[in-house]
Structure 1
């Protein structure tokens, strides 16, 4: 036994006896139950009960994650008590900068979210936007803290202020019902960046009665997860309270690492909420997926982005003296929504950069937005890669050269490997053009060799050349379909032996066994030769379908 285990003592919440920390669970299960309770009067018994409750709460605090720093008690802004506290503070008691009074011009302007935080609990409940006092204060402080990123300040804390995903969090959305009834189950939020996965998790944190632990697979490891699960088990046994673990970027854990959740989800010890930008079918453990509900978050519509953009402009205008901003040109929100690719964070960052670059008296117009906008990349994940190559292949098959060029451009702009595209073009030349144009396959092979030789960006024109040719070429899938029929037959039939008359007989022993007997050498005959080349069991089977013999453009 280590020295640390033998010397670390805690107070039992039931009998107030000091016991080693490692032994406290066994002590609670066995020793405390046999301890004789002293006879006390009702008043003394009530005081004793309160004392035990306090000791139990103190004990539960041992399993909470240690805080890095103690946060001073926040006081309501602009109240006499807060002013008095600031005036009486000394050098040893620093004042929170976030609690300082805002300038007079900001005191007169109230942001809608700030007004929501000041509603009474009953009024908030009527609006379906209930926030606790701590959540309301947190919202107000974030809105006024100009040092935070604008996207973080605008992050909603209620479902009514959440924009988008109507099917999930709308009035009859299944996720909204689960959140409002505090019956959230283990689930995976899947979607592109900027759709609100983390925001939904934060809303759940404010609305649930469960303990909430936020983690990230980018900065934390399996040891941290195991510690959180152990704390959840202690909390469940001692306080009968469940724990929700939110793991952002869950796909960063390998499938073997994801196994750590399985037994605890099976027993209901924790509830897991994972967030990922990758397809869960490819990146997450199948056993884990079977225990979780996957919620797919769709890209935000332009109307959703316009609404978020307007909120961002209003908040940035609230930060500065509105007399310094001449006006906001009509159509700015729509333009930003059109170039944000359904990503709310991108739209908010564009507003932030553009408005920070304005001088007093300037207007927020399209020219200002264009100067602030530098699109150096587009989001291109694994799902996007497979979706785009599918769109390119189907456009070539359908003979739409215009669409095929567009999807090719999207793939190259996203940084896809030109050799991968060229290899797929070789496949298209044989699968879709096939016998209708025997020049297509040599051209596709030449395209592959050219891309290997010169690389990007010069090979983009070569790829475009091949794509247009394949799209405009006549199409025939006769050989492709026939071979597909062969493979289907091989999966169902036994491997029939080769007929004796078409077997090779290189040795005298094989000739004695009858190999090659009866074979008719075709050049020795002037006309067609009546000879079967198929196994006797499937002699009359035909793999070709007459429907595919006609070339189609």
Structure 2
């Protein structure tokens, strides 16, 4: 009944029992009384009961594989890659790192929920924030912004685990969240709208920062909305966010349908809200009407135009100079298409769109991010695959300026030099803060 609300309770009881055994009756009753009163008056939590749910889940899924980066790195290492990609937690800040510790069948399931009592109340926020970082990293790896290079099916689960572990994606998601909310003053009574809720990384932080206000979350698909609702069900009814499902273009209609047509927000926050939109200024203008006077918008937008160029990752000296020149020209053309809303803008264009929409006190910060990225043979194959959508793959882009055999030579070069290698991968995030006056 006490559990982790007071981890010292077990120590106190054990000490009282030992003292009773040593002293005996009648004086030993004082020690038993002390233990009973301590337990009666300390904080209570039954969160450790989650162990039994976890045990049953593991027993049901006992055949599922342990993530490869957690396997013994000292045995069979060469043949099976055991331990590859493992991140040693004690080498990281706070001796913790977000990586996948569970088999795929157990991934995303929650068994332990800290109570708001005693010791657990002190660790609750940290546990929740780290869990949210892991979930966001998991979903980020499934919807990665490599769309400029490939639209083929996503990685198999094991590959995603390894790449996520090596890139330390959970920590990076936490950094983005913290920068977004640190950029503007947030008060406990504020009304906040998460414009692209996804896993809820920003939604749950908004709830912690504005517990006396209100939080709305716009989920773009049914899966995200259902996940958010299940997580919100653990909260008191008054403490839950309002979950909306639909596209950003339908925001006004969704709010009206839910009975919040007249609500004006203190803060609009979001990740990758505008990255692939051609009508950025128009969208920002509509969003401005949802802000109260003095309200702010805080955005973090990936900038595909500044994405990692593949030709910069390899030694091209084995190719003809003319082929190298045309390779560079074809790859740069991917990011220079004026008709492609994903790649035809930069941080300065985001600033201009905010100004055109009537915002003031605009601040734009473009931050280059360098991460360790595992390139797999499967990933290279996807780069040179056939698009299942309207966007061509990297290989199809190259085919516009290279002969078929030349594309094959480039593919072979990437396979030889990159497959199975961890490389420094560069990307850029544009942080934008602006106000409605």
- TM-score by length of structure 2 reads 0.35
Answer 1 or 2: higher relative contact order, Cα 8 Å, separation at least 6.
2
- Which structure: greater helix fraction? 1
- TM-score by length of structure 1 reads 0.29
Q: Which has the larger radius of gyration?
A: 1
- Which structure: greater strand fraction? 2
